[in-house]
Structure 1
Amino acid sequence: MVTNGQSGKPSGPLYPGLLEAIGDEPVIERTADFNSFLDESFAEAVRAEGRQNLVIGGIATDGCVLRTALGGLREGYRVHVAVDASASRSLEAHSAAVQRMVQAGIVPVTWFSLAAEFQLDREFHDAPHRMRLMPENVPAMAMSARSFGNAVELGKRTAV
């Protein structure tokens, strides 16, 4: 689920690169600033998913990410923040926000640790987004996986 502030405000429309990456995923333009859960359309969309865990990433770790993560906690979710998929104006601001979230009970993760967890879940193992992320960002691992897959296929053919 992707959310952003209103296009006509300083938060503006999403970056073209992000729009390209999310493809057909709808973007919820929220009227509430910072805490996305204060926007009823966002809160309802999250509730409709029926999940217990949230993973949040975004721009302004010390702004929207922090406020939305704390809002998720207040809503009763287990909240994780992808710290390397979030940023602030300075490393100091980012680090302080992450420390505050950890103290509140939010779990910091990295995109790669999430990809590894999703790999263990059959529902997400071959998900197109995960399959695209790996070769784009960890080419050596993607090459290793292809080599392993090829070896398995070769073994199946020679066993017949």
Structure 2
Amino acid sequence: MSFKYNRLDKDKAAVLFVDHQSGLLSLVRDYSPDEFKNNLLALADIAKYFKLPVILTTSFEQGPNGPMVPELKNMFPDAPYFARPGQINAWDNEDFVKAVKATGRKQLIIAGIVTDVCVAFPTLSALEEGFEVFVVTDCSGTFNAAVRDAAWLRMQNAGAQLVNWFAAGSELQRDWRNDVEGFGKILGDHLPIYANLIQSHSSVKPQK
């Protein structure tokens, strides 16, 4: 069986942030709160940096799920935003799906809470309709590692690619020479260990 490496392309990808809500954050136990928030904002920075279409959605905001994480909503004030009245699977909301299709992008970068429901359900639905789906593992959270791993397996077996935010950003960047400073700043801002590399590079690069 031959393998085809379908890599992320900044001209073909859109980002879907699904149910990153204040109430649902309390369910994320496979990452620490600080780590998870940092990962999420790193993906948001990547989406802005590459000027990717972004779509935001929440589920049952008036109930215990709560509103969307304010930092995320504030970063994309002009992005399509869908407060679903009750559909658990975002793909069951016609307006959300229309907005996804209106981007004209066939690669969907998806992250959300919880991994096994709010991420898995729209991922499987989008795959069924012929989209390429890239699930950002460290920007999606759930109750524990066992639940997470089962969800990953389910999505992967259906054809989804599993990536973390660092891998997604690097694949979109393709070549350091495209912009060392811009892409490097995102890495340094969200990965303290990478900030050391950026500082080292800045200290030795030739001055103009």
TM-score normalised per structure 1: 0.79
User: Which residue among 187, 190, 193 is the counterpart of 1:137?
Assistant: 190
SS in 2 for 1:34: coil
Q: 1:72-108 CA deviation, whole Å, 9 max, x = no partner? A: 1122101110111111112111111111111111111
> 1:42 maps to which residue?
96
Q: After TM superposition, where is structure 1 displaced by more than 6 Å over at least 4 residues in a row? A: none
> 2:17 maps to which residue?
none
Return the alpha-carbon distance in structure 2 between the equivalents of residues 142 and 58 of structure 1.
27
User: Which residue among 122, 131, 147 is the counterpart of 1:93?
Assistant: 147
Cα pair distance change 1:144/1:28, threshold 3 Å:
same
Q: 1:41-79 CA deviation, whole Å, 9 max, x = no partner? A: 110111011111111111111111000100111221011
1:110-129 map, 5 Å: 110-120=164-174
Cα pair distance change 1:152/1:136, threshold 3 Å:
closer
Return the alpha-carbon distance in structure 2 between the equivalents of residues 2 and 132 of structure 1.
25
Q: Which amino acid aligns with 1:92?
A: A
| CA apart distance, 1:110 | 0.5
Q: 1:2-45 CA deviation, whole Å, 9 max, x = no partner? A: 1111321332211234335x342532212352321111111011
1:7-156 map, 5 Å: 7-20=61-74, 22-26=75-79, 27-120=81-174, 133-145=186-198, 147-148=200-201, 151-154=204-207
Give the root-mean-square deviation of aligned CA atoms. 2.7
Q: 1 or 2, which has the higher helix percentage?
A: 1
Return the alpha-carbon distance in structure 1 between the equivalents of residues 144 and 61 of structure 2.
25
Higher-RCO chain (CA-CA 8 Å, sequence separation at least 6): 2
Whose radius of gyration is greater, 1 or 2? 1
| CA apart distance, 1:147 | 4.8
SS in 1 for 2:112: coil
> 1:6 maps to which residue?
60
TM-score normalised per structure 2: 0.62
